[in-house]
A and B are shown apart, each in its own frame.
Chain A
Amino acid sequence: MKALRQPSVLPGFGLTIGFTTFFLSAVVLLPLAALILMTASMSWHDFLRVILDPRALGSYRLSFGASLLAASINLVFGFVIAWTLVRYEFPGRKIIDALIDMPFALPTAVSGIALTTVFAQNGWIGRYLEPFGIKVAYTWIGVTVALTLIGMPFVVRSVQPALQEVQRDLEDAAETLGAGRLYVFRRIILPTVLPALLTGFTLAFARAVGEYGSVIFISGNLPMRTEITPLLIVIKLEEFDYHGAAALGFVMLVISFVMLLTINLLQAWGRRRLVATGR
């Protein structure tokens, strides 16, 4: 054990690490292993048939397409909101800052039914989009709206601390030396917040891909058209097609792992950049 752990006078390592690993294994790791084992018990042929089924492909297209679009929207608006909250003082700023976490704290079923009501044809916003022929509820646009709401706090909360880090005196120096607003943004602000922006983007994307509750109310759930992958998994489970559900879950799990890895790499890159610039 000596090589594995540095000596400490504090007690309780054995007890706490033991309980932690036991509980982690029982609640998280073993059940996840069941999913992988269930998938592994399928033949290659069956596995590919399930995950390459046209209905499954349609659901990936919607899940990943809408998540990517939603995360991109958040990349832009998340930055704008973070900038507004960090740089400007205006009435109600503190309350709005606190409300940014609302989509994170609000149960997804609540945001689901509320968004559907707002964006339905006779809803507060839906009725103004209807004359332009834009239908939000029960289309892929609605799915994107729901996923945008869910991902918003991740981008804002990632970018906010990074924006606070931007050295104002550097900006001032650049401006006095004749740099324009956009030039300062491109050469000073953007490089500082870029890792945080990308981390926020990835977090929002990862969260959106797996999202279920807020989407199923607004999506309409038409096979091939507005059916997200998590819903397809639920449908397969309800039909007692455990293998099919496990195979689709496995695909999503692999993608989640890749995202988690990307987030860690991005954060390591961000730290290296800060060290490299001497901060």
Chain B
Amino acid sequence: MSANALSVIGEISTRPGRDTLVGAVVRWMFITVSLLFLAALLFAPLATVIVMALAKGFGAYFASFHDPDTGAAIRLTLITALVVVPINTIFGLCAAWAIAKFEFQGKSFLITLIDLPLAVSPVISGMIYVLLFGLQGWFGSWLQERNISIIFALPGIILATMFVTFPYVARELIPLMQQVGNDEEEAAITLGAGGWLTFFRITLPKVRWGLLYGIILTNARAMGEFGAVSVVSGHIRGLTNTMPLHIEILYNEYNFVGAFAVASLLMLLAVATLVVKTLVERTGYRRRR
């Protein structure tokens, strides 16, 4: 075999998975298996939501939003998100500033505690508030005497949602703030800028894309939370039903158009969240889990 032929063979075999027949077959198999798996588990359910929502035409689809209970569920979900997202954003900014800008003992323990709600079952996230504020909970009788309702009412829904979405902004910001470093902030402070000025003019612009994604993710999880809210809400139609809970009620009543119509709104929200994530990642900010 001539040296020339050898080098050709060498070149082929250094690019496995591209030029050889076996490589082409392996490549084809991997792509097919991946697409089939995702088609069955992900694409089919997503398509089902749209098909079922429009099963009786656009008229029935839009009419289902005129149901006053559906309207109430959408309003309750929006109110919950409006309260929870700003609070958790402020918390996330505070936690990220403390953790990313300073070195102190017990830092990794603190991060673990902030991540805790992610490891807890949503049902437990709701239950802990029932144990505290429910009728037979720790403060149950005290609250009842004063006619304050937390469980089976808006405050419980807000608390449970807050718990579930607690870590997201902090988790996005901490690695990002650590990555961009402190040099510019230190320069600003030594040149006489105040703490707030430094924060708003230097830190915030540097992390704005990560912050945006954190907020969007918090919002998506807040609007979509089912397990935790289901435990604390009491499922009172038109009063304490959020959109996901309303989906369950409509579905169990065999009102499939109504259930999937509300589901399609939440799916739209999920798609929007992923679009923002993709755009944010395109700005060069890399997400780390």
Contact = CB atoms under 8 A, between A and B. Distances in A.
Contacts of A3: 105
Contacts of A108: 122, 224, 226-227, 244
Contact of B131 (A107, A230, A246): A246
Interface in B65-102: 91, 94-95, 97-99, 101-102
A11 interface: yes
- Per DSSP, chain B at the interface is helix
Contacts of A15: 94
Contacts of B198: 10-11
B189 interface: yes
Contact of B274 (A6, A105, A118): A105
B200 to A, nearest CB: 12
B251 A31 contact: no
Interface string A163-198: 000000001100110000100100000000000000
B146 interface: no
Contact of B91 (A23, A110, A256): A23
Contact of B16 (A30, A105, A175, A252): A175
Interface residues of A, number: 95
A14 B259 CA distance: 48
B135 A84 contact: no
Interface string B89-125: 0010011011101111100001011111101111110
Q: Among A6, A12, A171, A184, find the residue whose CB has the most chain B CB atoms closer than 10 A.
A: A12
A220 interface: no
Contacts of B236: none
A28 B42 contact: no
Given A17-B102, A105-B224, A211-B122, 20 more contacts: A8-B103, A10-B102, A12-B101, A13-B98, A15-B94, A28-B116, A34-B132, A37-B138, A38-B131, A80-B33, A88-B30, A105-B273, A109-B226, A113-B263, A210-B124, A212-B122, A249-B124, A256-B119, A259-B119, A260-B115
